[in-house]
Amino acid sequence: MSSTAEDLMIDPDFIQFDASLEEVEEEFEGAENTLIVKKNEQIIGEIHENSLLKAMIPEEDLDEQSVVGVLGISYDSSYAPDKAEDLMNEHEATVPLDEPLGEIALIMHREEVRSVPVVDENNKIVGVVHENAVIEHGEVS
Protein backbone atom coordinates (compact mmCIF):
# COMPACT_ATOMS: atom_id res chain seq x y z
CA MET A 1 0.00 0.00 0.00
CA SER A 2 1.32 3.42 -0.97
CA SER A 3 1.99 6.07 1.66
CA THR A 4 -0.32 9.07 1.95
CA ALA A 5 0.21 12.64 3.11
CA GLU A 6 -1.03 11.62 6.57
CA ASP A 7 1.68 8.93 6.78
CA LEU A 8 4.46 11.30 5.70
CA MET A 9 3.55 14.56 7.40
CA ILE A 10 5.15 16.19 10.41
CA ASP A 11 4.04 19.25 12.37
CA PRO A 12 4.34 22.41 10.25
CA ASP A 13 6.61 25.34 11.07
CA PHE A 14 4.99 28.67 10.19
CA ILE A 15 6.26 32.20 9.79
CA GLN A 16 4.39 35.38 8.94
CA PHE A 17 5.20 37.05 5.60
CA ASP A 18 6.38 40.25 7.27
CA ALA A 19 8.76 38.59 9.75
CA SER A 20 12.27 40.03 9.80
CA LEU A 21 15.26 38.09 8.50
CA GLU A 22 16.38 37.64 12.11
CA GLU A 23 13.02 36.06 12.96
CA VAL A 24 13.34 33.74 9.94
CA GLU A 25 16.79 32.66 11.07
CA GLU A 26 15.58 32.08 14.65
CA GLU A 27 12.59 30.07 13.43
CA PHE A 28 14.88 27.74 11.46
CA GLU A 29 16.76 26.85 14.64
CA GLY A 30 13.89 24.61 15.74
CA ALA A 31 12.43 23.76 12.34
CA GLU A 32 12.87 20.97 9.80
CA ASN A 33 14.22 22.61 6.63
CA THR A 34 11.22 24.58 5.37
CA LEU A 35 8.99 27.26 6.84
CA ILE A 36 5.43 27.73 5.61
CA VAL A 37 4.78 31.43 5.00
CA LYS A 38 1.38 32.82 5.95
CA LYS A 39 -0.26 36.16 5.33
CA ASN A 40 -3.16 36.59 7.70
CA GLU A 41 -4.26 32.96 7.80
CA GLN A 42 -3.59 32.17 4.13
CA ILE A 43 -0.61 30.14 2.91
CA ILE A 44 1.36 32.18 0.40
CA GLY A 45 4.60 30.23 0.06
CA GLU A 46 7.57 28.53 1.66
CA ILE A 47 11.10 29.38 2.66
CA HIS A 48 13.66 26.62 2.39
CA GLU A 49 16.72 26.95 4.60
CA ASN A 50 18.98 27.32 1.54
CA SER A 51 17.09 30.57 0.79
CA LEU A 52 18.99 32.11 3.69
CA LEU A 53 22.09 32.03 1.48
CA LYS A 54 20.61 35.00 -0.39
CA ALA A 55 20.55 37.06 2.79
CA MET A 56 24.17 36.23 3.62
CA ILE A 57 25.72 37.56 0.40
CA PRO A 58 27.32 40.97 1.02
CA GLU A 59 25.46 43.62 -0.95
CA GLU A 60 28.65 44.75 -2.72
CA ASP A 61 29.00 41.22 -4.11
CA LEU A 62 25.53 41.08 -5.61
CA ASP A 63 26.40 40.69 -9.27
CA GLU A 64 25.02 38.02 -11.54
CA GLN A 65 28.21 36.01 -11.89
CA SER A 66 28.87 35.64 -8.16
CA VAL A 67 25.23 35.06 -7.20
CA VAL A 68 24.56 32.53 -9.94
CA GLY A 69 27.79 30.77 -8.97
CA VAL A 70 26.76 30.57 -5.32
CA LEU A 71 23.05 29.84 -5.69
CA GLY A 72 22.87 28.24 -9.11
CA ILE A 73 19.93 30.44 -10.12
CA SER A 74 19.36 33.74 -11.82
CA TYR A 75 18.57 36.81 -9.75
CA ASP A 76 17.16 40.31 -9.86
CA SER A 77 20.01 42.81 -9.47
CA SER A 78 17.83 45.00 -7.27
CA TYR A 79 17.34 42.08 -4.87
CA ALA A 80 18.00 42.85 -1.23
CA PRO A 81 16.02 40.65 1.18
CA ASP A 82 14.41 42.39 4.12
CA LYS A 83 11.44 40.26 5.19
CA ALA A 84 10.32 36.64 5.06
CA GLU A 85 8.33 37.27 1.87
CA ASP A 86 11.55 38.37 0.12
CA LEU A 87 13.04 34.91 0.65
CA MET A 88 9.99 32.78 -0.06
CA ASN A 89 9.05 30.67 -3.02
CA GLU A 90 5.48 31.78 -3.68
CA HIS A 91 2.86 29.04 -3.94
CA GLU A 92 -0.51 28.04 -2.57
CA ALA A 93 -0.25 24.28 -3.08
CA THR A 94 -1.72 22.01 -0.42
CA VAL A 95 -2.69 18.34 -0.30
CA PRO A 96 -5.43 16.47 1.58
CA LEU A 97 -4.60 13.86 4.21
CA ASP A 98 -5.31 10.99 1.81
CA GLU A 99 -3.16 12.31 -1.09
CA PRO A 100 -0.98 9.43 -2.38
CA LEU A 101 2.80 9.76 -2.37
CA GLY A 102 3.05 9.79 -6.17
CA GLU A 103 0.64 12.71 -6.43
CA ILE A 104 2.56 14.60 -3.73
CA ALA A 105 5.77 14.12 -5.72
CA LEU A 106 4.02 15.38 -8.86
CA ILE A 107 2.70 18.48 -7.09
CA MET A 108 6.14 19.24 -5.62
CA HIS A 109 7.73 18.88 -9.03
CA ARG A 110 5.08 20.90 -10.86
CA GLU A 111 5.03 23.69 -8.26
CA GLU A 112 8.82 23.58 -7.77
CA VAL A 113 8.44 23.37 -3.98
CA ARG A 114 10.33 21.42 -1.36
CA SER A 115 7.40 20.92 0.99
CA VAL A 116 3.64 20.98 0.83
CA PRO A 117 1.16 21.69 3.63
CA VAL A 118 -1.39 18.99 4.44
CA VAL A 119 -4.97 20.13 5.08
CA ASP A 120 -7.91 18.39 6.74
CA GLU A 121 -11.52 18.35 5.52
CA ASN A 122 -12.00 21.89 6.93
CA ASN A 123 -8.99 23.15 4.92
CA LYS A 124 -7.02 23.61 8.16
CA ILE A 125 -3.29 22.90 7.97
CA VAL A 126 -2.57 19.84 10.07
CA GLY A 127 0.92 18.98 8.88
CA VAL A 128 3.53 19.36 6.19
CA VAL A 129 5.25 16.84 3.93
CA HIS A 130 8.88 17.57 3.12
CA GLU A 131 10.64 16.32 0.00
CA ASN A 132 13.00 14.16 2.06
CA ALA A 133 10.01 12.15 3.37
CA VAL A 134 8.69 11.65 -0.16
CA ILE A 135 12.09 10.49 -1.39
CA GLU A 136 12.65 8.25 1.65
CA HIS A 137 9.29 6.48 1.28
CA GLY A 138 8.99 6.51 -2.51
CA GLU A 139 10.02 4.01 -5.12
CA VAL A 140 11.64 5.04 -8.37
CA SER A 141 9.63 3.69 -11.31
Global pTM reads 0.75
Nearest alpha-carbon partner for 16 in 110, 114, 88, 71 = 88
pLDDT per residue as tens digits for the range 128-141: 999 999 999 877 65
pLDDT for position 112: 87
> How far is Cα 2 from Cα 113, in angstroms, rounded to an integer?
21
> How far is Cα 59 from Cα 40, in angstroms, rounded to an integer?
31
Residue 99's contacts (CB-CB under 8 Å, 6 or more residues apart) are: 4, 5, 107, 118
Q: What is the CATH number of the domain that holds 112?
A: 3.10.580.10
Residue 78's contacts (CB-CB under 8 Å, 6 or more residues apart) are: none
Whether residue 108 is predicted with pLDDT greater than 90 in this model: the reply is yes
Number of folded domains that form the chain: 1
pLDDT per residue as tens digits for the range 12-57: 899 999 999 999 989 988 777 889 899 988 889 889 888 887 777 7
pLDDT per residue as tens digits for the range 77-102: 445 678 999 888 888 889 999 999 99
> For residue 106, what are the domain limits?
5-137
Q: Is 105 exposed, middle or buried (0-12, 13-18, 19+ CB in 10 A)?
A: middle
